[in-house]
Chains A and B, each alone.
Chain A
Amino acid sequence: MDKDLLLLMFCNVVNEVFGEDVKYVKNKTRYMKLFILTMDKLGEMLGYNEISIAYGWYKFGIFSFEAHDMFSRDIYYIDPIAPHLKIPQEFEDIQKTMKHIVKNLAGKFKMKWDDFDKFIHDELPDGEIKEFYRIVKKVNDAFDLLISDKITLSSIFNLGTSKVDALRKAIEHLENSIKFKYMAEDREEALYYYTDSLMLFLDNYNDNATCKEILKDMRKVFEDDILSIISPYPETLRGNEKKRKVELERCLEVINSKIEMLYNKIDSIENRHVEYFPTHDDLVDDIRKIEISEEVNSRILNILHK
């Protein structure tokens, strides 16, 4: 079905169902997510190839690059929407179905931010995806706790070490939970470049202003770059088959450019704060001091000579 027509029907339905409450949903994020969820339900009923859109689980819940573009255009916020388009009679049944779907979803979309956030990241996804958002939240919370100046009971008794450990644990949890199908090696290496840098920094962590600045930079890289790289978007794409291919290609392009940015950003943070990050020479010196048993040594030599 034509994309513009679907959109027109959707926007009409939203106005009708929400009435005066339409303000709750008319921000880009919610509008886009409601559109995708409606199309997903519609696809379930009519067959996914009948809807001209594909979507997956990205940084902040359900997402579609194409839908994101569509809702970045002002036209869909203005009433009446696209007045030059008329909905043909034969689509009235579909519009009715759509209305039914939107009605069922409306309550969730009128919720306050925290509840809406919980709905998107915790209620909607299942299994591994839900776990992914939980782990990401754990990392973000651990960052916040360490960055904030709030004095907690644990910070008094443990002089902040437990907060550092919380971040360490969250990062380890993240590393252990990631499974990539597309660009697996590049994405994994990029993730490790970030986590190794962060963890080695945490070994030198002090509760001072510079370290908090570094943490803030690292948290920003996590949100701006790491999340784009590790989100299970390519792995969870659903919807129209042709559009899935387009979305996949577009996402992999974004991942590629984010990986490059990530490496540059980490290098730049490390180079700005050499007192807190080991240089290559430091690392090589430390590596030489590591002792290993004969047994492991011979197994390593076997790998080397393979």
Chain B
Amino acid sequence: MWGDNVDLFLDSCIIISYHIPCHPHNKIVSDFYDTHNINSQTTCKRVEKEVNKKLREILEEFKNSGELSDSDIRKIRHAVRKFFRNIPVDDFSTLNTFLFNDLDIELEKVMKNSSDRAIFANAILWNLHYNPANPIFLTLDKKDYRNTWGIMLAVTNCLNNNGHNVNNLKKLIEIMIL
């Protein structure tokens, strides 16, 4: 359905779940990586910050539980850091702050969480700027991305209102909820 050679924009839950021994999430994300040909992947600074914050909490929990060895905890932390070292991470909102703010206002009608809006608006600007062949916003967040149709309509309206011809894009971003 999604085809091969996907260009991914990763939500924070994906990166966290990929790196913690926490079924079923870890398995879902791992399976995705195992079964897809990934052409490129990226994320924004905001996601990196969110992941770091959650990771601290999770590692603290693991440490306190006494169930993981010191080496296991280091493996998790180092894997996440190395993951971020291996992919380009940018603040895409700086590409067009006006459009970014406009997207945020438009998305507010369909997405409650301000952090999610900022991340998704980053993904839209990434798509607009780099125009990858098969852009996919990858998330585990069923709750906030339930209304995919409404979200994409809000984005299309906003882009059109700002003079961006959506037809010029190879593809408008697709939201993929694992």
Chain A interfacial positions (CB closer than 8 Å to B):
172, 185, 189, 192-193, 195-197, 199-200, 203, 263, 267, 278-280, 283-284, 286-293, 295-297, 299-301, 303-304
B64-87 CB mask vs A (1 if < 8 Å, else 0) is 010110111011111101110110
Contact B57 A303 (CB under 8 A): yes
Contact B21 A284 (CB under 8 A): no
Contact B13 A304 (CB under 8 A): yes
A-B residue pairs in contact (CB < 8 Å), sample of 30: A189-B52, A192-B77, A192-B78, A193-B81, A196-B77, A196-B81, A199-B74, A200-B71, A203-B71, A263-B85, A267-B85, A283-B76, A283-B79, A284-B18, A284-B30, A287-B20, A291-B21, A292-B22, A292-B67, A295-B65, A296-B61, A296-B67, A297-B22, A299-B61, A300-B61, A301-B25, A303-B54, A303-B61, A304-B13, A304-B54
Assess whether B117 is interfacial by the CB under 8 Å rule: no
Assess whether B23 is interfacial by the CB under 8 Å rule: yes
In angstroms, how far is the closest chain A Cβ from the Cβ of B10? Answer: 14
Contact B26 A288 (CB under 8 A): yes
Q: Which residues of chain A have C-beta atoms less than 8 A from B25's C-beta? A: 301, 304
Q: Which residues of chain A have C-beta atoms less than 8 A from B65's C-beta? A: 292-293, 295-296, 299
Q: Which residues of chain A have C-beta atoms less than 8 A from B46's C-beta? A: none
Contact A287 B75 (CB under 8 A): yes
Q: Which residues of chain A have C-beta atoms less than 8 A from B23's C-beta? A: 297
Contact of A284 (CB < 8 Å), options: B54, B71, B79 = B79
Q: Which residues of chain B have C-beta atoms less than 8 A from A292's C-beta? A: 21-22, 62, 65, 67-68
Assess whether B16 is interfacial by the CB under 8 Å rule: yes
Chain B interfacial positions (CB closer than 8 Å to A):
13, 16-23, 25-26, 30, 52, 54, 57-58, 61-62, 65, 67-68, 70-72, 74-79, 81-83, 85-86
Contact B67 A303 (CB under 8 A): no
Q: Which residues of chain B have C-beta atoms less than 8 A from A287's C-beta? A: 19-21, 26, 72, 75-76, 79
Contact of A300 (CB < 8 Å), options: B22, B72, B78, B83 = B22
Q: Which residues of chain A have C-beta atoms less than 8 A from B52's C-beta? A: 185, 189
Closest 10 CB pairs of A and B: A283-B79, A290-B21, A196-B78, A196-B74, A280-B82, A296-B65, A303-B57, A283-B75, A300-B22, A290-B72
Q: Which residues of chain B have C-beta atoms less than 8 A from A267's C-beta? A: 85
Q: CA of A267 to CA of B75 in the docked complex: distance in angstroms?
A: 15
The listed residue with most B CB atoms (<10 A of its CB), out of A196, A289, A297, is: A196
Task: Name the CB-closest residue of A to B71.
Answer: A203
Task: Name the CB-closest residue of B to A283.
Answer: B79
Given A292-B67, A300-B61, A304-B25: A284 in contact with B19 (beta carbons within 8 A):
yes
Task: Name the CB-closest residue of A to B13.
Answer: A304
Contact A288 B30 (CB under 8 A): yes
Task: Name the CB-closest residue of B to A295.
Answer: B65
Q: CA of A115 to CA of B26 in the docked complex: distance in angstroms?
A: 56
Contact B86 A280 (CB under 8 A): yes
Q: Which residues of chain B have C-beta atoms less than 8 A from A263's C-beta? A: 85
Contact of A200 (CB < 8 Å), options: B19, B21, B54, B74 = B74
